[in-house]
Chain A
Amino acid sequence: MEVKLSVRRYDPESTNTVPHFQEYQLEMDEAATVLDALIQIREDVDGTLSLRCSCRSAICGSCAMRVNGEAGLACNTKVIDALPSDGTAIVIEPAGNLPVIKDLVVDFQPFWDQVKSIEPWLQPAGEEPEGEYLAPDEDMLHLAGVVSCILCGACVSDCTVLEVDSNFLGPAALAKAYRFVGDPRDDADGKRLKALNEEGGVWDCTRCMKCVEVCPKGVAPMDRIMSLREKVMDAGHTNTNGARHATAFVDSVRHSGWLDELKLPIKSFGIFNLKAMISLIPLAIRSQRAGKVPPLIHKNIPEVENVRRIFDKVENKK
């Protein structure tokens, strides 16, 4: 079948250092992957195209890039699935949120720095046993989903927080952190959770699910971040806007069955955080002026006692 690819090119040594799109037309097999197409370009059409790739089977993590605007592995994206229905070209761009070195090759240094910053190695307590650590299969198997992360960077490429804040640890590093926090052999939870509670840590995720959607290995980084939030709070780190927000939210639903929007920001910032409280005032005034404020009296939903009973029941199960 005939395939058009529009590839973003960038050559830092050229006089024209503005990235531009170059279109290629190829004849490809129905079973071909986007990577096959790029390799064909490189080998038969244009040897100057640079990209990273290696295993061709979604295990080495080299070929993460954006296909039609969304991150994924070129090697497990079929050309036929990526072809736009309107006959236009498949758009190939380098991974996002990382500096481009050349064409589809990006600088992974910020990515590795994030991963390294979470102390990504097992930190057990005490003497090593003579044989293996004993641990129930289930306790280890639940880690398999995270251990199968190949550090390809697709999640980082499309993370909506990293787009505005490079200090965020990012989905890959946080998933990696979960891999250790969730490991029964690891004994550094206290230290790890304390660090993850800091700015740029678990609370900065917006829960946009972009990482879950683009991950080629089903690691679901955001779900791991949510598990970490739970563990951070369970470890007693409740003195952050994030923890207070979650607690206030849950309290509101428990108490009234729905959300008390007036109290939520106040509770999230903490009652003594004057600066943040004052920062809310302009919006409050704007809202007042526009006639756009939540009802001052927050009524409970009818039969709220049923909701409260469910809270009691389910929370006791935890």
Chain B
Amino acid sequence: MKYAFYPGCVSRGACPELYTATLEVCNILGIELDEDSLRSASCTGAGVLQEKNLRLGDTLNARTFAMAEKAGLPLMTICSTCQGVMSQANQRLVSDPEYLASINEDLKEEGLEYKGTINPKHLLWIIVEDLGMDFFHSKVVRKLEGLKLAPFYGCYIVRPTEALGFDENPERETSLEAVIEAVGAEVVDFPGKTLCCGFPILTINPKNSVKMVANHTIDAKDRGADAMVTPCPLCHLNLDGYQPNASSAAKRDIDLPIIHLPQLVGLSLGIAPEKMRLNKHIVSTKKLLSELAVAP
């Protein structure tokens, strides 16, 4: 299986561990990543650019889709936010041929045209839908038994359900739980799993942002979670990076490691933790890994 890989800004910036872990995991799962075709693709706009100019965002994403289309490959993301922003843009583009045609006018000069055939897909969905859970099971070499994990999706991979194709693919709603169970860990369900991590308002209203981090991590912790797993690097940045702030704001210890989805998958595939830079988190994963007897 070969995909045009769209790593997104964060995995190449503040979360290099996500990028590394993804490469390792895909290698074992037989997911071939083509890094060339989207080399000059831009940021999706992350919803922020869309605030200022929706059409600009749609044009940039159409450009990315056109590149994948040109390469004849399906498109893979590893970020909930990229997934959501792309899916929404795609919905607008595909549902309105007139709009798409006018957007294509602005891509012409670069020799690109988006025909509307791309269906951007997060690694999470690729595991559940394209590889299938049976195949994935067969690749798991280390059952993470006894580990209690709280899922944390990130808004953009769960809403709006219409643009994300939840009707056609109902399994997407519980895909993260499915992976957690497949690696042998136990799911710690909590209402915050589909809510906002606070990242988008981190620089706008830090107090609220940190409160959100505190609410989610403390709730998961109190329900017995050993760690939290997320398919969104932005959620990771906030839940991990600002957990110390959340801890002092809430005046209590939290100490809940935040694991990227590929890191979790990688552990079950037998990849060494340091290869996935699990030692580079703000909230230490040391205790967690030693309990799993895979100490870095």
Contact = CB atoms under 8 A, between A and B. Distances in A.
Interface of A: 69, 160-161, 163-165, 168, 199, 203-210, 212-213, 226, 229-230, 233, 240-242, 245-247, 249-250, 252-253, 257-259, 261, 264-265, 268-269, 276, 279, 282-283, 286-287, 290-295, 301-304, 306-307, 309-311, 313-315, 317-318
Name the 7 nearest CB pairs between A and B, nearest first: A268-B203, A208-B196, A259-B9, A164-B211, A294-B13, A209-B159, A160-B196
A248 to B, nearest CB: 9
A258 B43 contact: yes
B282 A307 contact: no
Nearest to A233: B52
Query: By DSSP majority rule, is chain A's interface helix, strand, loop, or mixed?
Result: helix
B13 A295 contact: yes
Contacts of B63: 306-307, 310
A283 B244 CA distance: 9
B66 to A, nearest CB: 11
Interface in B38-80: 39-43, 45-53, 55-56, 59-60, 63
B191 interface: yes
Contacts of A258: 9, 12, 42-43
Contacts of B195: 160, 163, 208, 210
A245 B42 contact: no
A245 B48 contact: yes
Contact-size category for B: 35 or more
A199 B204 CA distance: 9
Given A253-B49, A287-B241, A309-B109, A259 B211 contact: no
Contacts of B273: none
A142 to B, nearest CB: 14
A168 to B, nearest CB: 8
Contact of A163 (B48, B107, B215): B215
A307 B110 CA distance: 10
A241 B48 contact: no
